[in-house]
Chain A
Amino acid sequence: MREDRRKGSVGHVRVSEVGKVFARAGRPEIILKDCTFDVLPGRLNVLIGPSGSGKSTLVNLIAGYATPSVGEVEIDGTRVTGPGADRMVVFQETTLFPWMTLIDNIAFGPIQAGVPKLSAHEQARALLSKVGLTGFEHRFTDQVSGGMQRRAEVARALINRPKVLLLDEPFRGLDHMSRGLMQEYFLRLFEDEGITTLFVTSEVDEAILLADRVIVLSYKPTAVKSILDVFLPRPRTFQMQTLPQFAELKGATLQLLYEEALKGFVKGTAASAELDRLMAAQRSMR
């Protein structure tokens, strides 16, 4: 199994012609419209798009927590109809169970799969040391820092050796330094394990540093705007951010995102409303 995954033959996600409508106050709101893309096996696929574009919605559809209004999601040729242990999700907010210690959280999946408690704990301990959490096994989740929670959460997903790992802005809200550290940890993990990954982010630097491919979303309605391949060597290091290649890719991605952001801004997103409000407040202060 493990060898297979390293070679990257498992976990091919195909999102085809997916559309999603939500009802807001009885009115339809089209969030996703005709999204088609592949999450290539064994690669680190990054999904990037402006805030509110429907990235989390896409993740929920792939995870099976929601069903697409139109189109379908397949994994290795099998249609997704609900959540399953072949896909593990790390959300942008922590979903570690607060009533369990870190090690119990991480051993939860294997124990559910029938692994005896002792060896599940052993596996969990090994993985915890891999993400730098040795010594924190018996802390509750609220008793460790946000960065540690994120790492534990990644570990809880990885220990089940899923076909696909889905990460929805896992490092959002961390400060710059811990974010950098988390990215390093994550790169090492990915390069070791080679699990097919879909990593959602709204940060261009993060996207390019991590990715084999960057899937750029358009906005309102959301579809795939473009897919960029990142040919930076692996193992990746932080220093690669200074390479001219990196800058070039960053420029291209930013250009794509800028066009979309502008579209959204004009259409009255949260950001533009915020700006309007600020300006109004300034006027009234005078």
Chain B
Amino acid sequence: MAVTNSSLGAAQVDGGYDARLRASPDWPVQAGDWRARLRKASRAQALRYALLGFGIFFGLWYLLTAVIVPPRFNYIPNPALLFGQWISEVPQYGISVFIPEYYGHIWVSVLRVYTAFAISVGVGAPLGILLGWSRFGRNTLFPVVEMLRPIPPLAWVPLAVLALPETEMAVIFVTLLASFFATVLNTYLGVRSIPETYFRAAACLGYRRVDVLRRVVIPGALPFIFTGLQIAMGVAWFSLVGGELIAGRSGLGYLILDGYTQLALPNIFIGMITLGVLGWASSALIRKVGELMMAWHVKGQGGGA
């Protein structure tokens, strides 16, 4: 057969064929060569475009607030002034990186968010597991959760302020509501996503309830739980600002509000940007922890089996 012959022929010049393969553009080459350089160049391209984008953004900002200034744009400080104030040792409006009060506001807000987050996870995750795992628990509690969930956390502010003894508690309560529901719901979905066969297998192996919880339910729901935690962290910051604006006496939301009442425009922006950075950092933190936990978990399973 002709084809068999040709493949025999190829076998004799094997070295030649390997050389052709190695010369092909698909062949990966070690670091330091032209491909790596090309990849780096493309990343530099992304960087260039990002810089271009930011350039246009800040350029427009400066143009509209310092050069042309259309009506009402005088309420937006120009970027040079804003960042100058931010790093000034004697800021005009009392807030900059050198002023302890700035860190006081940050500290208060962070403390509130993390307290609320801890409570909502501590209560919400077990509740979510209960809802997912026990049919009776699900049937009785889920309707209640679904009944309360549509009420936005900020709608609770007036009630919380009046019913709770301290404003601080009201702000934390408002902050934790949304993250609580996010945690409950995602944990619940996580448990429900575990295939029924796993539970049967566990029953066959004679696992006790604790073991099922520890070795089937929690690991199975973990990816969903972490999705939930990320959402929870996001909405916690979201609601915190609302709570602080409406009922707070301190914190970054209050800093913004105060900037508004005193017409200290740079402070409004400093507060906003700081909130953005803190919110972003918190989400990144949760994501990292989630990745570590998940990797650790996979490794643990591989070793244990």
* Interface residues in chain A, defined as those with a beta carbon under 8 Å from any beta carbon in chain B: 17, 19-23, 26-28, 30, 33-34, 36-38, 69-70, 223-227, 277, 280-281, 284
User: 22 pairs across A/B with beta carbons < 8 Å?
Assistant: A17-B10, A17-B17, A19-B20, A19-B24, A20-B26, A21-B26, A21-B28, A23-B26, A26-B28, A26-B30, A27-B28, A28-B27, A28-B28, A33-B21, A36-B3, A37-B3, A38-B3, A69-B24, A226-B1, A227-B4, A277-B305, A284-B305
Contacting residues, chain A, for B22 (C-beta < 8 A): 28
B1–A227 CB distance below 8 A: yes
Q: Specify which chain B residues have a CB less than 8 angstroms from the CB of A34 in the assembled complex.
A: 7, 10, 17
Given that A36-B10, A284-B305 are contacting pairs, would A19 and B1 also be in contact in the complex, using a CB cutoff of 8 Å? no
Number of interface residues of B (CB under 8 A): 17
Say yes or no: A224-B7 contact (C-beta < 8 A), given A34-B17, A69-B21, A70-B20: yes
A277 proximity list for chain B (CB < 8 A): 305
Interface contact A280-B305, CB-CB below 8 Å: yes
Q: Which of A22, A36, A69, A226 contacts B6 (CB 8 A)?
A: A36
Q: A69-B27, A226-B4 are in contact. List 16 more A-B contacts (CB 8 A).
A: A19-B20, A21-B21, A21-B28, A27-B28, A28-B22, A28-B27, A33-B21, A36-B7, A36-B10, A37-B3, A69-B24, A69-B25, A69-B26, A70-B21, A226-B3, A227-B3
Task: Tell me the smallest distance from the CB of A6 to a CB of chain B, in Å.
Answer: 26
Assembled-state Cα–Cα distance A22/B24 (Å)? 11
| Contact of A70 (CB < 8 Å), options: B7, B17, B305 | B17
Distance from A48 Cβ to chain B, minimum over Cβ atoms (Å): 14
A-contact 0/1 string along B250-267, CB 8 Å cutoff: 000000000000000000
Closest beta carbon of chain A to B29's beta carbon, Å: 9
Contacts of A33 in B (CB 8 A): 17, 21
Nearest A residue to B5, CB-CB: A36
A58 to B3 Cα, complex, angstroms: 17
Complex CA gap A284/B304 in Å reads 10
Interface string of B290-305 (1 = CB under 8 A from A): 0000000000000001
Give B16's nearest chain A residue, CB to CB: A34
CA distance A225 to B24 in the complex (A): 24
Residues of chain A contacted by B17 (CB below 8 angstroms):
17, 19, 33-34, 70
In chain B, what residue has the closest Cβ to A227?
B3
The 9 closest A-B pairs by CB, nearest first: A23-B28, A69-B24, A69-B26, A34-B10, A21-B26, A70-B20, A36-B6, A19-B21, A227-B3
A224 to B1, CA, bound (A): 12
Contact (Cβ within 8 A) B305 A281: yes
Contact for B21 among A26, A27, A30, A223, CB less than 8 A: A30
Q: How far is the CA of A192 from the CA of B20 in the complex (A)?
A: 43
Please give the distance in Å from A142's CB to the nearest CB on chain B.
20
For A37, the chain B residues whose CB sits under 8 A away are 3
Interface residues as binary, B25-44 with A (CB distance below 8 Å gives 1, 0 otherwise): 11110100000000000000
C-alpha gap A36/B4 in the complex (Å) = 9
A residues less than 8 Å from B1 (CB atoms): 226-227
Q: How far is the CB of B43 from chain A (nearest CB, A)?
A: 16
Closest to A215 in B: B3
Chain B residues closer than 8 Å to A227, beta-carbon distance: 1, 3-4
A22: nearest chain-B partner, CB-CB: B26
The minimal Cβ–Cβ distance linking B305 to chain A, given in whole angstroms, is 7
Residue of B nearest to A20 (CB): B26
Smallest CB–CB gap between A72 and chain B, Å?
Answer: 12
| B-side contacts of A22, CB under 8 Å | 26
B7 & A223 in contact (Cβ 8 Å cutoff): yes
Give B174 Cβ to nearest chain A Cβ, in Å. Answer: 42
CA distance A19 to B27 in the complex (A): 11
Chain B residues near A26 (CB, 8 Å)? 28, 30
Query: Considering the chains assembled together, what is the distance between the CA atoms of A73 and B28 in angstroms?
Result: 23
Q: Which residue of B lies closest to A21 (CB)?
A: B26
- Taking the nearest CB of chain A, how far is it from the CB of B238, in angstroms? 34
Q: Chain B residues with Cβ under 8 A from A23's Cβ?
A: 26-28
Count chain A CB atoms within 10 A of each CB in B3, B4, B26 and give the residue with the most: B26
List the A side residues contacting B27 at CB < 8 Å: 21, 23, 28, 69
